[in-house]
Structure 1
Amino acid sequence: MNRLQQPVSALAGVGAQTARRFEKLGIRAIQDLLFHLPVRYEDRTRLTPIGSLEAGMTAMIAGKVEFADILPRGRKKLVVRIADDTGFISLIFFHYSANQFHAFTPGALVSCFGEARHGYAGLEMTHPDYQIIADAENFALDTRLTPVYPLTEGLTQTAIRKAAKQALALCTHDNRLLIDWLPERLLQQLRFPALYKALQTLHTPGEPAACAALQNGSHPALKRLAFEELLTHYLSLRSAKNLNQSCRAPALAGDPIATEHFIRRLPFPLTGAQRRVIAEIADDCRKTQPMMRLVQGDVGSGKTVVAAYAALLAVSSGYQAAVMAPTELLAEQHYRNFSNWFSHFEAKAVLLTGQMKGKTRNAVLDALKNGSAPIAIGTHALFQDGVEFDRLGLCVIDEQHRFGVHQRLALREKGRQSGIRPHQLVMTATPIPRTLAMLQYSDLDISIIDELPPGRKPIVTSVIPSERRSEVISRINGWVAQKKQAYWVCTLIEESEALQCEAAEKTAELLAAALSDVRIALIHGRMKSAEKDAIMQAFKQHRIDLLVATTVIEVGVDVPNAGLMIIENPERLGLSQLHQLRGRVGRGDSDSFCLLMYQSPLSDMARQRLGILRDSNDGFVIAEKDLQLRGPGEVLGTRQTGAVHFKIADLSRDADLLDNIQEIGERLFREAPDAIQPLCDRWLGASTVYAEV
């Protein structure tokens, strides 16, 4: 076994308990230590005169003890005053032993590292790292910067520094242990150091001048590792695509008479973009390799009917289709749409959600298992244990970024029983700029619905401060008097003083008091499914004028008569989410309006972002501008369940590396195919299998 693959407990000083603590940081093998990088560095290579210290400075100092005293007032503490030729400073210890107290004898020489702060008697350092210098003649400062690592409870910097040092030493003694899988010619072209050299620099940087470049992420050693990690994510997804193409899937040619009949019976004409994407999907489904296609389409561009057409291809070829939505509200709406569109077919849809219990649930499970239900629409309940399909030929994942990779994999596995893989259609209303799509979706073919249905009017968007709230409320009265409906969106359910956000319940009460003639209802994600459904139905049937809601209405709700939306605290949400919320209006023939009501004062960034939304209704334009402003990490949404997570790369900091990833990745497939699996093993480990999704 390669020594770097041995458990960390093989290192000196790492016992079973320390190994368990390392595991909490994802460090199991010795090699993991090499890629567990410092978060910052401390410069202990030079002494700073005490007299030149300022509050907020972190520095290395040395001085003689003037006195040490235990102060009993308030919280008991040990205070030690040290001085050099330029000034004095107090060292404060709240946790100390009798031995410590006695070690600080007047005249003793002490070196300290810590942050200077204002105190009662001038500057002070609280709990600095210190050393009593017994032999002043032979006292030496560090020659390298001191790494500071991410920790977990019970693990000290000393323990992790010693372990990392041993891991590096192993590579120094045997340079065959850590193989550099990137070709040397490529490293020269990109001006990157070799792997071991990069790791050595990052764990034990020599020259203090490098500190700023290491801290801001511009150092070539850090860039090299970030590049290798980003490249590996691309390679793993492309490998998954290659692997997927070697699997068998059912050929879903569909029944041309049924598909033509379906299109003719729709209550609206398909756009050119919808027809183009349908043709791409039909072409994929005819093949015996599994389709892996992402459909990006702006809010209201008509992705659902494209999914319904794909489902019909499966059903009319003798297979089942499963459509997974992120919320029960959206699953129920898809169910209603599918039921209407397929009312002239034998293809009946069934709904499966987590709320279903008892006989209703069992009836649906039986229908899926025996094949009498050709179309299943549901939430994550579709991939739970106990859900079996007779012949699953197609999986549709709507709003894919709401699902974890494991969940999408689990649904696909449901089709494995018959020895085939179902085709996969993934949909999103969150436009993703090209560079990010390459990183996040290089295993998928991408289709874009870049055309809105005819008659859709652009939504007039205004940005106003919350001080004008009373004006907005009176505007609602006039709006409702015209027999029109409105949304009022709050960004939190519960009240939070820290975020200055109105609670949805409180907002509904205040609006009800101010608008006595307006029929108001409240909807949020914590309500039971039946309750939410009843409220949405009442809103659709115009038995409610104003719907106060949280972001639960972000996707899928379609009420053409609702043409006004007020969004409170829009500065708290991402532009794509705001754009999706706004897409709930503008679905009828009349003019539609969206008011973004922010809390003053706005930061420059927030002002620019809300300005982008005000000036554009094009989701792709909004996503590109958001990318320029906030960087890729924020736009991809690292909080998303299914988002890529990186150990070292930072999408905002390393955006410049993305441009070359695709081209170099394809080059590696051609010129160094043997490097791909080892790179995936190094960076992704056991998670590589999930990239198959």
Structure 2
Amino acid sequence: MARKSAVTPALTPSGDASLAMLAGVGPAVAAKLAARGLSSLQDLWLHLPLRYEDRTRLTTIAQLQPGMAAQVEGRVSAVERGFRGRPMLKVAIEDDSYGTLLLRFFHFRAQQVAQFAVGARVRCYGTAKPGQLGLEIVHPSYRVLGSHEDDELGDRLDPVYPAVEGVGPATMRRFIGLALDRLPDEAALELLPPDWLSGLGLPSLRAALLTVHRPPPDADLAALAAGRHPAQRRLAIEELLAHHLSLRRQRMALQAHHAPSLRGQGALVERLRESLPFRLTGAQQRVYEQIRKDLAKAHPMLRLVQGDVGSGKTVVAAMAAMLAVERGKQVALAAPTELLAEQHLNNLRGWLDPLGVRTAWLAGKVTGKARAKVLAEVASGEAQVVVGTHALMQDSVVFKDLALAIVDEQHRFGVHQRLALRDKGADGRSVPHQLVMSATPIPRTLAMSEYADLDV
């Protein structure tokens, strides 16, 4: 199922309205919602259910099976309050199917105990599991019905939302219901071509939101549980599109910056190539030529190199690094784990030390005087290639002239961490080039969406 993510679709101006307009949302409640990232109507529209409870029908106790979530109704036949190690309340209910079900509570108040008088009618919902004396439900949601209370059942599935500390589930459902009542009409809300959506068999955004939050009794429960319902797929498209467009916008903004042109003779690259104990493959040579052309330009390179483990991505990165070093610039290579970073370090030192290129190592376990020494070398420019982990992105790391940032297994870092490394070389006039590497198999169409800010 699509979930509200860090990239939230911008639906309509009305969606930005504060939750303070909703009845019952005062300053204290608003603060609790804001702590969960919910501060506007749009945030509630996209606060999607985790699952659903079917309270549209009753199941007899005799029909219950272990692991089955159901709503049952019965009369209290026995109540026991015990303190074996911790407080416990056990309530036995029976119905006309001659079945008995035990309701077990570990957290309860005195007034709850008083509700469960023998003979009282109780309607509860939960998942049955085997107990010592038969099936039981631990901490069911329940309601004690009055003797003349209407037996009317719900007319739709009940959504269960991610918990918000200090805001009860019923209150959360009420707030989201009030927010949904303020949904704009279809024309004002929809951004995608209706003909395109209908061709895919998908509903409008408004219909999708209403279906996910208020599924009708005949909704396909299996599809909803698996996240395959057309309404969920429609919301997933909205989120993926927002993600794609936000990265494209970020790319356009970045390409408006200047970057140092690393056009040069390539003498260090040729010396590195000649010293290698193997010949470059055609793919390695082709990818290096694409990178070389990008680095020669005066705007930032943003490139993803994807290849299997052992396909030789590191040597291509090393050749790109030599173009920067030849121009008197610095290079940073970040890997997500110390083991992977050390592998890169060993390879690079084996190739670059004979060329007289200084490669430095910076990770969490580099501490004390050794760390201070590396930081000084990075700041002075003496360290030409700096290999490390997340430690490279810390505020204490200052480069003299970073021109190329290389990130291995980018998905283990995230966009913001990659940008934090890039910012190490931003000086107000230019930003470094970026090269991202990944051994994770990524279909090209997916890569173009997930890495929309990168050339692949």
TM-score (norm 1): 0.58
Residue-by-residue CA offset, 1:316-365 (whole Å, 9 max, x unaligned)? 23322222233445545544544443446454333333444455444443
The 5 A counterparts of 1:39-58 are 39-58=50-69
Asked if structure 2 preserves the Cα contact closer than 8 Å seen for 1:109 and 1:132, the reply is: yes
State the distance in 1 between where 2:360 and 2:171 align: 57
Classify the secondary structure of the residue corresponding to 1:26: coil
From the superposition, tell whether residues 372 and 122 of structure 1 become closer, same or farther in structure 2 (CA, over 3 Å).
closer
Paired residues for 1:12-411 under 5 Å: 12-65=23-76, 67-70=77-80, 72=82, 74=84, 78-94=89-105, 95-105=107-117, 107-119=119-131, 121-134=133-146, 136=148, 138-171=150-183, 174-175=184-185, 179-343=189-353, 345=355, 347-411=357-421
Distance 2:290 2:323 in 1: 13
Structure 1 residues 311 and 86: CA distance shift in structure 2, 3 A = closer
CA contact (8 A) 1:81 1:88 kept: no
Deviation at 1:167, TM superposition (A): 0.7
TM-superposed deviation, 1:46: 1.9
User: Per-residue deviation at 1:176?
Assistant: 8.3
Any conservation in 2 of the 1:255–1:317 contact (CA below 8 Å)?
Answer: no
Q: How does 1:282-681 map to 2 (within 5 A)?
A: 282-343=292-353, 345=355, 347-417=357-427, 419-446=429-456
Residue by residue over 1:364-410, the C-alpha shift from the partner in whole angstroms, topping out at 9 and shown as x without a partner, is 43443343443333333333223322322211223334333332111
Correspondence for 1:547: none
Distance 1:159 1:339, change over 3 A: same
Q: Give yes or no for contact 1:297–1:429 (8 Å, CA) kept in 2.
A: yes
Aligned to 2:22: 11
CA contact (8 A) 2:157 2:217 kept: yes
Q: Read off the aligned partner of 2:238 and give its amino acid letter.
A: E
CA shift for structure 1 position 436: 3.4
User: Paired residue for 1:690?
Assistant: none
- Secondary structure of 2:386's counterpart equals strand
Q: How many residues align?
A: 443
1:382 to 1:104, Cα distance in 2 relative to 1, 3 A: closer
Q: 1:431 to 1:103 in 2, by over 3 A?
A: closer
**How far apart in 2 are the matches of 1:357 and 1:277?**
37
Aligned-pair CA distance for 1:420: 0.9
CA deviation string 1:164-220 (max 9, x = no partner): 11111122xx53897222232322222222222211111111224433332222221
Shift of 1:281: 1.2
How many Å separate the matches in 1 of 2:350 and 2:81? 79
1:396 counterpart SS class: strand
Which residues of structure 2 form unaligned runs of 5+? 1-11
Whether the 8 Å CA contact 1:193–1:220 is kept in 2: the answer is: yes
Q: Secondary structure at the match of 2:199?
A: helix
Query: Deviation of residue 286 (structure 1)?
Result: 1.3
1:298 and 1:430 in contact (8 A); partners too: yes
- 1:308, 1:431 → 2: CA distance? 22
SS class of match (1:294): strand
CA 1:72–1:423: 2 relative to 1, 3 Å: closer
Question: Which residue identity is paired with 1:53?
Answer: L
Cα deviation 1:123-164 (Å, max 9, x = unaligned): 444443333333647431111111111214443211211111
Using the alignment, how far apart are the partners of 1:73 and 1:286 within structure 2? 76
| In 2, Cα distance between equivalents of 1:353 and 1:307 | 20
Distance across 2 between alignment mates of 1:139 and 1:297: 63
Deviations 1:58-88 (A, max 9, x none): 33333444x4433558576555444443324
Pair 130,394 (structure 1): closer, same or farther in 2 beyond 3 Å: closer
- Post-superposition offset of 1:51: 3.7
Per the TM alignment, residue 424 of structure 1 is displaced from its structure 2 partner at its CA by 1.2
Once the two structures are superposed, residues 488-538 of structure 1 have per-residue CA deviations (whole angstroms, 9 ceiling, x without a partner) of xxxxxxxxxxxxxxxxxxxxxxxxxxxxxxxxxxxxxxxxxxxxxxxxxxx
Contact conserved, 1:108 with 1:133, CA < 8 A, in 2? yes
Q: What is the distance in 1 between the residues matched to 2:170 and 2:213?
A: 13
